[in-house]
Amino acid sequence: MTGPIVILGIFVADATFRTPRPPRTGETLIGSGFALGPGGKGSNQAVAAALAGGQARFLTRLGFDTFADMAFKTWQDAGVTPVVIQDDKSYTGAAGIFVQEASGDNAIIVCPGAANEISPADIDGWSEEIRGAGVFMTQLEQPLSAALHGLRTARDFGVTTILNPAPAAKLPTDMLALCDYVTPNETEAEGLTGIPVTTIDDARHAAEKLLGLGSKAAIITLGANGALFHDGDQSVHVPAFSAGPVHDTTGAGDCFNGSFAAALTLGADPVNAVRLGCAAAAISVTRPGAAASMPTRAEIEAMIAKA
Judge whether residue 214 has pLDDT over 90: yes
Q: What does the pLDDT read at residue 290?
A: 83
What average pLDDT does range 16-43 have in this prediction? 93
Is position 231 annotated as part of the catalytic site? no
Q: Which of 29-38, 55-64, 94-103, 288-297 has the highest mean pLDDT?
A: 55-64
What's the pLDDT band for 187 if we cut at 50, 70, 90?
A: very high
What average pLDDT does range 5-21 have in this prediction? 94
Count of all residues that appear for the chain in the document: 307
What's the pLDDT band for 3 if we cut at 50, 70, 90?
A: very high
Active-site pick, 87, 180, 254, 269: 254
1 is a domain residue: no
* Amino acid, single-letter form, for residue 37: G
Q: What does the pLDDT read at residue 126?
A: 98
Digit-coded pLDDT (tens) for 216-248: 999 999 999 999 999 999 999 999 998 888 888
111 is a domain residue: no
What average pLDDT does range 140-158 have in this prediction? 97
2 is a domain residue: no
Digit-coded pLDDT (tens) for 63-100: 999 999 999 999 999 999 999 999 999 999 999 989 88
Q: At residue 60, what are phi and psi to the nearest 5 degrees?
A: -165, 180
| Mean pLDDT score of the chain | 95
99 is a domain residue: no
Answer for the pair 300, 52: CB distance below 8 angstroms, yes or no.
Answer: yes
Q: What does the pLDDT read at residue 307?
A: 82
Question: Helix, strand, or coil here: 118?
Answer: coil
187 is a domain residue: yes
The boundaries of the domain holding residue 54 are 40-66+79-90+117-306
- Structurally, how many domains does the chain consist of? 1
Q: How many of the other CB atoms lie within 10 Å of CB of 242?
A: 13
What average pLDDT does range 245-259 have in this prediction? 91
10 is a domain residue: no
Q: What does the pLDDT read at residue 289?
A: 82
What's the pLDDT band for 171 if we cut at 50, 70, 90?
A: very high
Q: What does the pLDDT read at residue 253?
A: 95
Question: Helix, strand, or coil here: 226?
Answer: coil
220: which strand partners?
228
255 is a domain residue: yes
Residue 278 sits in a domain whose CATH number is 3.40.1190.20
What average pLDDT does range 170-198 have in this prediction? 96
pTM recorded for the entire structure: 0.93
CA dihedral 183→181→203→275, nearest 10 degrees, is -80
129 is a domain residue: yes
Angle between helices 252-265 and 270-284 (to 10 degrees): 140
